[in-house]
Structure 1
Amino acid sequence: MRWVRVAGRGLLVLAVVVSGYVSAGAPATSGSGRGPLTLATAGDLTGYLGPLLAGWNRTHPDEKVTLAELPDSADESRAQMETDLREDGAGRFDVLNIDVDWTSQFAAAGWIRALPPSRFALNSFLRPVVDTATYAGRLYAVPYVTNAGLLFYRKDILAKEGLRPPRTWTELERDARDVAPKYGLEGYAGQLLTYEGLTVNVAEAVYSAGGTLLSEGGSAAAADSAATREGLGFLVEGVREGWIPEAALTYKEQESKQAFEDGQVLFMRNWPYAYAAADSAGSSVAGEVGAVQLPGPDGPGTSVLGGSNLAVAAHSEHPESAERLIAYLTSEPVQRQVLTRGSLPPVRASLYRDAALVRRFPYLPKLRTAVLSARPRLKSPRYDQASLVVQAIAHDALTGRETTASAARRLARELAAVAGS
């Protein structure tokens, strides 16, 4: 996952008493598995994570946490984590805030510790998020933030046209092609630059069409199918026909969010964090932002399950403190602050039914539904290689270098090589 800037930076320092949480006892020592920690995460540009850790540090003086901010780019932060984890005991990171799709890879490599499920309130989490933290039947991380893609739209423009938000690809294509130009707008923006976001956008299109790219566990390819051709074709045809602007081929999350905030596009696929910024003062579309589930061929589609998990580095000298910190960060009071201060979707199921939170974040019920029906990106111990394959081939299809049918066959062939390598 990638941390991104949103409105409303949280400056409140929290001193939280966590229900059921054991406070610090005897002075920490490395022999007891307790002591100071370093938490590694992609750049915390929201400004909310530091105050959360300050709350921990004030009540746990012998187990203070130092925040190690890595680059904003998911690919770059993963590379730095991998370098640290390969240090054979010399690494400096204790707790890792990792993309949900890295869990299998890190666990298979022996870089992170198996964790005791009984220590964490897993039965209080949204059901699908727990699966992202497991590998080979064991818990190797704890869900911290979840995510599912949503379709953002201009409420004012659809109201003028007497239209409801699109539920199908046909409706989305029609409105993006016919309605958007009437108001001087582009039709639809996703994240189609050749990076991790392209893997997400392609996987969501294929999943929405009823297909998949890799078999369960990542042991075989399943990409050469009618569903892959339909899903990838939806994006390819959008670019070719112009209702997906060519500029979208250069967009990551921030660029597409900015285009929507600036009133340049009618529809946008993005993560829920984009709602707070788009609907706040300074945005040209404030007060006119709606969000629904992603559309599919015949009705609501399927999102990729995003977010991040907290894992303990295998070489950490203070695994007891690391587990205690994870329990703190995934407690209900802190998860509430993850949402209200960081605009990031929490993993605690109860927060999605909290009336006060729903009033403040009206997309929460739709997001809950999207998360419950979402699917992992590519659950594979060779995730990074598989993702690069998807990005390269999808880019060739989107830019007209390869037909959709040829791209589907190539995906199957090259993903099979990754799965068997």
Structure 2
Amino acid sequence: MFDIAVACLVVTALFAYVNERWIRLPGTVGVMTIAMVLSLGLVVTHHLGWEFAYRPVTAFLNDVDFSAMLMDGMLSLLLFAGALHVRFDQLRSYRLAVLALSIVATLVSTVIVGWITWMLAGWAGLPLSLWYCMVFGALISPTDPVAVMGLLQRYKAPASMSVTIAGESLFNDGVGVVLFVLFTRMAVSGQSPDMQGILHTVGQEVGGGLALGLALGLLLNLLMRSIDNYVVEVMLTLAGVLGGYQLALHLECSGPLAMVVTGLLVGNAGRASAMSELTRQHVDMFWELMDQILNAVLFVFLGLELLLIPFSPQLLGLGACAVGVALLARFVSAGLPTWAFGRWLRLPPGSWKVLTWGGVRGGISVALALSLPAGEARSAILALTYCVVVFSLLVQGMTMGGVLQRTLRQDA
């Protein structure tokens, strides 16, 4: 395990250097692009019969459980780091937009993507049941705004837009995971659970996650308030996140929601009453660095995972259709309501464009797809997920700056 961690860090650091020195794309997108180019090159050498590089790399990737690495480790750190910098007062001001996008929009998007994918898969002759298509809808609907948030800050986007996108991304991960768990159980068992079973699962996942996050956040604030040593306080936040997420897994409640609530409490109540100015500086610096390093590692793996995706002409065609379906679902579930009710939600007039095109998908979607039981359905869903994620990050992420600039100029 230690050897794998070292290899991951070395590869990520080298890719980050190459990108910063010569390519100069946005950090996470740059390292993923390099990794994808390398993967494609290895695929070409494999087809030419040159196995000297292909086999060692694929053997290394097969040794890494990407789904477990992200869902059981990295995700807790990334969500806490993201929530740590969201202010309660701003989140409260735009709570209607955040709740609507993170809950209602995720549900609507899941149904739209799942239903249309099921029809397209039937026409293409792929063995995907309706429930497995709903699984795909659940894992592809949550957004990952890593690339977009940097652009929002660079172009000084209105606070309403930034807070809404950040808040949505923090909470819809938890909603998407709950839906993923429900639909996966239906797909594997082939049976629809009764309403009592659904309510029990939702209550355990959502209610348990929120309660655990509240308890953990209050405990961390209490411990940090009783001392004034930034080294110990940084260690407390790290231990609380890693230990709290493992506890959530054992309690079978939503770890993502627990980490978001914990981050919000530590970043607001804890920042105001439990940290000195020196501690605040070190906590912010530590978690900002942790966030950037983990995101770089995550995007490198996204690029390298291309080697393990079982593509076929049929799946590539359906994957191209899935990209359009995901964009359509994002427009219907987030863009259209924002256009119609933007004034009531206190959002700028052109926000629907940014919310629609800025619905970037990321590593969580791929990790969820990798966690599915082995079989033809998993292979198909993994290929479709990868197509949507790569388009989302490379095309939407790279062109988001232009969309944002045009929107801000029109609203000025």
How does the TM-score come out when normalised to structure 2? 0.25
| TM-score calculated relative to the size of structure 1 | 0.25
Name whichever structure is richer in helix by fraction: 2
